[in-house]
Structure 1
Amino acid sequence: METLSSIESFVRSAEAGSFSQAARNLGLTPAAVSKNVAKLESRLGIRLFQRSTRSLMLTEAGEVFLAQIKGGLDSIQAALANVENVAGKPAGVLKISLALAFGRDYVLPAVNDFINTYPDVIPDLHFDNRSVDIIAEGFDVAIGGGIELVPGVIAREIGRAHVIPVASPAYIAAHNMPAKPADLTHLDGIMRRSPQSGRLRSWTLRNTAGEEAHMELKTRIIMDDPEAMCRASLLDLGVAMVPRLHALPYLESGTLIRLLPDWYADIGPISLYYASSKLMPAKTRLFVDFILMRFRELDIAGKFSALPRKK
């Protein structure tokens, strides 16, 4: 198995473009990954990487070797992981990427139930509001939105991410309740900065009749976290456009109110992502099925939707 470890270190380093990132994905130290690759190079009698202090690039021989073995490595690892199917006892570390608030409030309780059912599976949870590269970063599962569907990645939609305008009752009591999107122009805005571009997010609202309207607010404060925006609304700073999943606890408690209840913005699906494989490890397959079933039971899609509930 020493050679297999060396091959895995080589393949993951080539995918990540660095020993450090490969080490994080594999749960090893960069020195261990580098040593594994050096052992493989010594065994093969060829140099696989051109190394420098700033970059790690495949040699021509390294590119040829990678093309020949990568599919085989993935098949071997899937087969090894899938042996647990025969024993009927899923086990091992399950690396999961989660959006912060959604992961804490909705996924973590389900993960607790999962590990009570499958105690030999160890979830390794990474809470981060960013679009991860599932394959290159070695994740088994990612749950959230905005992840690019590259070849080899499957997405199972959980629900739609709808953004709605909210404010505190005290703020609205001191101002006129808006009746249409144009009325928002005169209200203070708790604005959100895009983490990708650094620009302020702009919103186009729509309603169930299919009408659309551009939303404008007076900029009062700027931030990049929707949970912090909800907290700012609680401080009577103004109107925040936030995903309903973030606003829901405050709406249910009455500490925030939804403005223009017929209007919302759709920013895309919330999905469960995983790498496609004919031999998906049992721990991954069972987790995917468990989360999808639990979210159907909890009606997560209905809770996050800004559309009127069907009677």
Structure 2
Amino acid sequence: MEALNLIESFIHTAETGSFSAAARRLGLTPAAVSKNVARLEAQLGVRLFHRSTRKLTMTPGGEQLWADAGGPFASLQDAFARAAGHGGAPSGVLKVGMAVAFGREYLVPLLGDFLQRYPDIVPDWHFDNRAADLIAGGFDAAIGGGIELTQGVIARELARPCTIVAASPAYMARRRLPAHPSDLAELDGIVRRSSNTGRIRAWTLRNQIGEEALAECRTRMIFDDPEAMAHAAMQGLGIAFLPTPHAAPWLENGRLMRLLPGWHAELSPLTLYYPNRKLLPAKTRVFIDFIVGAFRDGRLAARFDAR
């Protein structure tokens, strides 16, 4: 088992790029992880990392060991987890990344059913609007859109959300309903600033026959969060370009109304990401099946598709 502990410290250090990050994953001190790696180097007679005060980089020997040992070690960990399971039932801590508003609105309500089915699983859910790094962060899965696929990650599409135009009935009560995207120029807009570029987001809308038109409005306020935009629109402060997951609850209860119902803008698919392993841990496998089933049976995919 000592050799497994040493290789575990090495693999987590290789994945995260630092002794400190590996230590946080393993519940050890950075000094202990560094010592384990040093002992492994001594046993192998090979230097695995170049160390400096600022940076830790793998040597060619370290890269070769990671490539050869990473997959088999993950499979061995999974085998241990299954052998130690409660009567074979899925168990353990399940680390999942998701966006704040989306997770709160759509995933937290599923927790009760999930825990009733799998009482030995402990959800460790991380709410962050930044894309999760599955490998470096040690996540079992993540749900989001537009996450860059890296080696060792599988993507499974859950739904195809769109951006639509919405406003409160009170705001539109004394205004002419737009018939074409060009008519939006007469209305006050709650527009979005991109958190990545810092620029105000411009939208090109498309209708069902493939026509496209630039959608422009009078900029009344600028937000960088679609949930805040939806709440401002419900206060009657203007129209908003909203992703359907953020708009759907308010469209369904009547606090928002959809403008230009024949027009939408495409978004990246909503996707479930998980590590590419030959033998997934049971906790991850049942979570994947549960989420896919929830989107299918709960018709979430249909709610988000405004095309």
Q: What TM-score comes out, normalization by structure 2 length?
A: 0.91
The equivalent of 1:292 in structure 2 is: 292
Aligned positions, number: 307
The equivalent of 1:20 in structure 2 is: 20
Distance 1:222 1:276, change over 3 A: same
Matches within 5 A, 1:22-101: 22-83=22-83, 87-101=87-101
Gap regions ≥5 residues in structure 1: none
Whether 1:114 and 2:100 are equivalent positions in the alignment is no
The equivalent of 1:303 in structure 2 is: 303
Aligned equivalents of 1:251, 1:115: Cα separation in 2? 30
SS of the aligned residue for 1:12 comes to: helix
**Farther off after superposition, 199-208 or 144-153:** 144-153
Distance 1:26 1:214, change over 3 A: farther
The equivalent of 2:266 in structure 1 is: 266
SS of the aligned residue for 1:268 comes to: coil
Give the counterpart letter for 1:12 in structure 2.
Answer: H
Tell me how far 1:161 sits from its aligned partner: 1.2
Distance 1:151 1:306, change over 3 A: same
Tell me how far 1:7 sits from its aligned partner: 1.4
Aligned equivalents of 1:53, 1:201: Cα separation in 2? 41
- Write the deviation string for residues 233-257 of structure 1: whole angstroms up to 9, x where unpaired: 1232211111111112221222221
Give the counterpart letter for 1:135 in structure 2.
Answer: I
Aligned equivalents of 1:4, 1:165: Cα separation in 2? 55
Aligned equivalents of 1:2, 1:193: Cα separation in 2? 52
The equivalent of 1:239 in structure 2 is: 239
The equivalent of 1:204 in structure 2 is: 204
Tell me how far 1:174 sits from its aligned partner: 4.2
Tell me how far 1:287 sits from its aligned partner: 1.2
Tell me how far 1:25 sits from its aligned partner: 4.0
Aligned equivalents of 1:61, 1:154: Cα separation in 2? 27
**Farther off after superposition, 72-81 or 42-51:** 42-51
**Farther off after superposition, 297-306 or 77-86:** 77-86
Coordinate RMSD, CA, aligned: 2.2
Whether 1:279 and 2:279 are equivalent positions in the alignment is yes
Gap regions ≥5 residues in structure 2: none
Matches within 5 A, 1:156-195: 156-195=156-195
Tell me how far 1:45 sits from its aligned partner: 4.8
Aligned equivalents of 1:231, 1:138: Cα separation in 2? 34
Aligned equivalents of 2:111, 2:34: Cα separation in 1? 34
- Write the deviation string for residues 222-275 of structure 1: whole angstroms up to 9, x where unpaired: 221110111121232211111111112221222221111111111021121111
Tell me how far 1:55 sits from its aligned partner: 1.3
SS of the aligned residue for 2:135 comes to: coil
Sequence identity percentage: 57
Give the conservation status (yes or no) of the 8 Å contact 1:26–1:138. no
Give the conservation status (yes or no) of the 8 Å contact 1:84–1:90. no
The equivalent of 1:216 in structure 2 is: 216
The equivalent of 1:130 in structure 2 is: 130
Aligned equivalents of 2:216, 2:24: Cα separation in 1? 43
**Farther off after superposition, 241-250 or 148-157:** 148-157
